[in-house]
Structure 1
Amino acid sequence: MRKFGLIGHPLTHSFSKKFFTEKFEKEGIEGCSYELFDIPNAFELDEILNEDPEIEGINVTIPHKEDVIALMDDLEEACEEIGAVNCIHIQDGIRTGYNTDYIGFKNSLSPWLGDAKVKALILGTGGASKAIKQALIDLDIDFLYVSRTEDEEQITYDDLASDPEIMNTYHLIVNTTPLGTFPNVEGMPAIPSEQLTASHFVYDLVYNPPVTTLMQACLDAGGKAKNGYEMLILQAEASWEIWNS
């Protein structure tokens, strides 16, 4: 039996288990299982792998993408630059960390933007934001981090509200926070939504619900909005390729 799984907390509504279970059935892949490991502390991964040495691959979601780096024996070169791991390959006891969020985001963003020339605001500074940052760098898209706290490398939501020129200049807004995720669907990052226009693009990494409150605010202003579902599909497929390489 080939075994795979997902670690994170909480895992109430997991895309990954459903995706891989259906993939195994649809493609006639026998002898594989995919399980959920809801762990509040990333370092509990050691216990999981020690108890079941047959596990070959692990996906990593919020909030463990940065903490699991300390548990890796090796990191893919690109993953070192990103500073976050969302895919682990275990082979002969060696754990190698990868970041397929980067692949999923980059390969879904570029066709969606088309020829549009934009600057981006990255909402949130957690593990998912690291992959978004690297993808934007590689796509030559200028960006700013937006967070609740002030730092020399980021602006705050208060800055957005007090200086309309920021929203007027940065037309791509990427939400990397879990705000707006089911069941708390009314939530959204504290951006001044009244400043959204028909020139704005909102890419929300949240995929449940399909249209988040943030996305709807942009659509109501005449702009474009995209959820994180395609990114999830692409990053999951990239994980499968890594585990079978």
Structure 2
Amino acid sequence: MIKLGLIGFPLGHSFSKKYYLEKFEKENIENIDYDLYPIENIADFPKLYQEDECFKGFNVTIPHKQAVMTFLDELSEEAEAINAVNCITIERKNGTTILKGYNTDAFGFQNSLEPLLRPHHTKALVLGNGGAAKAVCYVLNKLDISYKIVSRSLNNGDITYDTLDEQLIKEHTLLINCSPLGTFPKIEECPAIPYEFVTDKHLLYDLIYNPEETTFLRKGKERGASTKNGYEMLVLQAEKNWEIWRNNF
């Protein structure tokens, strides 16, 4: 039996477990299990794969996407550039265990965003500055889209929410929510931006997928903007994870 799993804390309702188990059943993929491993202290991570050689890979989520890198032997190019990992392969050779980290968030985000981009989407505001924002900024750099990171404190971003005005919103027609604001069950929350300046030229992208339409997206849609939630990004990165693991079995 090959084991795969998700580490993070807390893990609550996980998209990953449901997605992979349904995929395995639907595609008749046998002898592979995917489970949740809530680890509060990342120092406990090595016990999992050291004590059970069935483990071939992991997904990594909040709050361990950077801390887990301490335990890795290799990084893919994008994981190194982003400085965050959400996918790990485990290879055992001649008694040596080799862990390699990848970042498939970037792949998922880029491939779900690109079809929606229009020629005027040349500047973005990235709302939030966590691990997900790092993958988003990596992709924006690749696509030659300039951006500013918006945060509650200037220590963590380029500008603060309270400095957003009509001119900034008008200039930056791509608005990307990388913060957890609006995630179920606190669905009434949303980033504190001046939505009255959003127009039909704007594209609002929310990395959140639950609820399907966040308050951030609803407010954008009310102003005529195009909107996209994070579900397709999640599916694309999940499939990329599977491709990486499968090539390593």
Work out whether residues 183 and 210 of structure 2, in 8 Å CA contact, stay in contact via their aligned partners in 1: yes
Secondary structure of the residue that 2:36 maps to in structure 1? strand
Matches within 5 A, 1:1-245: 1-92=1-92, 93-151=97-155, 154-160=158-164, 163-245=165-247
Secondary structure of the residue that 2:212 maps to in structure 1? coil
Number of aligned residues: 243
Q: What TM-score, normalized to structure 2?
A: 0.93
Write the deviation string for residues 70-118 of structure 1: whole angstroms up to 9, x where unpaired: 1211111221111110100011121100000010001110012244433
Which residue type is aligned with residue 49 of structure 2? Answer: L
Query: Percentage identity across aligned positions?
Result: 51
Mean Cα displacement is larger for which, 148-157 or 123-132?
A: 148-157
Q: What TM-score, normalized to structure 1?
A: 0.95
Write the deviation string for residues 187-208 of structure 1: whole angstroms up to 9, x where unpaired: 1122222222222111100000
Query: Which ranges of 4 or more aligned residues in structure 1 deviate by more than 4 Å?
Result: none
How much is the aligned-residue C-alpha RMSD, in angstroms? 1.4
Quote the Cα distance in structure 2 between the aligned partners of 1:47 and 1:180: 35
Quote the Cα distance in structure 2 between the aligned partners of 1:77 and 1:90: 17
Quote the Cα distance in structure 2 between the aligned partners of 1:114 and 1:29: 39
Which residue type is aligned with residue 179 of structure 2? Answer: T
Work out whether residues 65 and 128 of structure 1, in 8 Å CA contact, stay in contact via their aligned partners in 2: no
| Residue 53 of structure 1: how far off its partner (Å) | 2.6
Unmatched segments (≥5 aa) in structure 1? none
| Residue 43 of structure 1: how far off its partner (Å) | 2.9
Work out whether residues 148 and 157 of structure 1, in 8 Å CA contact, stay in contact via their aligned partners in 2: yes
| Residue 153 of structure 1: how far off its partner (Å) | 5.2
Q: CA 1:67/1:28 → structure 2, altered by over 3 Å: closer, same or farther?
A: same
| Residue 10 of structure 1: how far off its partner (Å) | 2.1
Secondary structure of the residue that 1:88 maps to in structure 2? strand
Work out whether residues 84 and 130 of structure 1, in 8 Å CA contact, stay in contact via their aligned partners in 2: yes
